Structures are given as C-alpha cells and as structure tokens.
Amino acid sequence: MIEFKDVEKIYPNGTQALKDINVTIEKGEFVAVIGLSGAGKSTFIRCINRMHDTTGGELFVDNINVGALKGSAIRRFRRKVGMIFQSFNLVNRTTVIKNVLVAFAPDNPFWRTFLGVYTKKQKLQALEALEQVGILDKAYTRVDQLSGGQQQRVALARTLAQKPDIILADEPVASLDPITSKRVMNDFTKINKDMNITILMNIHHVDMALEYADRIIGIRAGEVVFDGKASSVDDVVLKMIYEGHVEQQPSSGEENQVYVG
C-alpha cells in the first residue's frame, strides 16, 4: 500500500510541485496519473521511490517511511519499486538478456557485475521475465536491433526480474506509435492482473489512461483535483483537471471524490 500524508514538494529553486497530497493506493491497483504538462505528475511518481525527496508530510510504502530511509536501505527498498521510463534506459550496444540481468547487479559482488558473471538461477529468472513480456526469442539480439515497443518490453522484463511489488511508469508510451502503445499498455494490464503488481503510471494520453487504468488521479498545479474510478471520468472532470473549473457538479458515485481547487 502507498500512502501520501499531507505530502509537499518544493524544489530548491522555490517551485512548489506538490501541495497537501493525501492519497492511498492499495496493492494491485492500476492507477493512471493525468494532468497538464508541469502539473506535478512526474514529481508525484518519483517521490515514491525517493528519486525526489519530499519536503513536507510523510510517504509510506507498505508501512515503510520512505523519507526516513538512508543509504543501503534506499537501495533495498528500490528493489520493491520498479521504474519504467519513456526513454527505456537500456544499454543499446549489448544484448537483451544482458540488459535484463542488470536487475541483479545490486545483489552481486562488484567483481561479478564488472565481469558480467551471473548465476544460472539469475539467468533463468531473466529468461522467465522475457517470456512474461513475450520477447524470449529476442534474448540474444542486440537492443539497437529492436523496435521501440520491443525495447520498452525489455525494460519491463528488467523490472519484472527484480520481482517488484510496485511498478512506477513515467510516460512509458510517449515515444511509441498508437498500435505499439496499445501493445505495451496490454503488457502492463497483464502484469497488473496476473501478477497483482501495483501499477502507477503517469500518462498524457487520456483515452489510453481511461481504457487501461482502473483509477484516475488528476493533478493540477501540484494538487490532486480528482481521484476516482476511470469509468466515472467525463468531460466535466476532464475540464476540471485540464482547465481548472467546473460547469456543473459531476453525477458522481460514492467512490468518485472530486475536489475543486
């Protein structure tokens, strides 16, 4: 479970990126975070694995106070929380399997990682992760010979190999064409449903967010202005998230909380 309690983030230059965030995300949810560029979506996601430090409030992941973690405890914690980026973050000039094996580097002595020596168990786990995203046949292909969608699957496999409880995805389909984007979104859905891994995804494509996620969090100027089921998002809600005003109260269900800033 992820719990934001009055979380605030002010960058060193004085920009307030998050204000009074109070959100709880249960294990196994698929949540899409939407909002205008600069609204605070990336900051929201990146506070969860301490890529950014919060400057106020408290953030808990499975009852671990994320802000209190130090040194090796942060590294251990990050094993539970996988991260997927728009740019895939792969080493292009080497094979798919070597990119996935990088997931085990924190567990190995330095010399093993340096020489690229992994255990048989780790190799089998890496191959299993590739199978889970349907690209086992590409295991020994160089990454720069793959399409963008296949590269994002390699990144997903690398994250799966570390057996995370949560996957944070920051604009994972932003650089992919519509068909490939749908394939990658289907991979996320499969991982979420079959493996009960919580997915928290920052995404600009509203239509895809509504199609694939169960829950939508709308952020505007650093504040959560909508938090509810994807099925309850209508034009009024979208106007509130993207334009900041409401023409009429949405006909909401009990679980559809709407805050107007």
Ligand X SMILES: Nc1ncnc2c1ncn2[C@@H]1O[C@H](COP(=O)(O)OP(=O)(O)OP(=O)(O)O)[C@@H](O)[C@H]1O
Query: Which spans of this chain sit near ligand X (rule: CB under 6 A)?
Result: 11, 13, 15, 17, 35, 37-43
- Cβ of residue 43: shortest distance to ligand X, in angstroms? 3
Specify burial of residue 85 (Cβ count, 10 A radius: 0-12, 13-18, 19+): middle
**Minimum distance of ligand X from residue 243's CB (angstroms):** 15
7 DSSP assignment:
E
Which is nearer to ligand X, 39 or 97 (by Cβ)?
39
Closest CA to 25 of 231, 238, 214: 214
Query: Which is closer to ligand X, CB of 35 or CB of 149?
Result: 35
In whole angstroms, give the CA distance from residue 105 to residue 122.
Answer: 10
The nearest distance, CB 21 to ligand X, in angstroms, is 12
Minimum distance from residue 31 beta carbon to ligand X (Å): 15
Kind of pairing, strands 215-220 and 30-34? parallel
Closer CB to ligand X, 16 or 94, in the complex? 16
Q: How far is the CB of 49 from ligand X (least distance, A)?
A: 14
For residues 124-141, one letter each, b for 16 or more C-beta atoms within 10 angstroms of the residue's C-beta and e for the rest, the string is ebbbebbebbebeebbee
3-state secondary structure of 30: strand
**CA–centroid distance for 76 within its chain:** 18
Nearer to ligand X, 15 or 147 (CB): 15
- Number of CB atoms found within 10 A of residue 59's CB: 22
If the CB atoms of residues 11 and 259 are measured against ligand X, the closer one turns out to be 11
Q: Which is closer to ligand X, CB of 86 or CB of 141?
A: 86
Question: 38 — phi, psi (to 5°)?
Answer: 85, 0
Q: How far is the CB of 172 from ligand X (least distance, A)?
A: 13
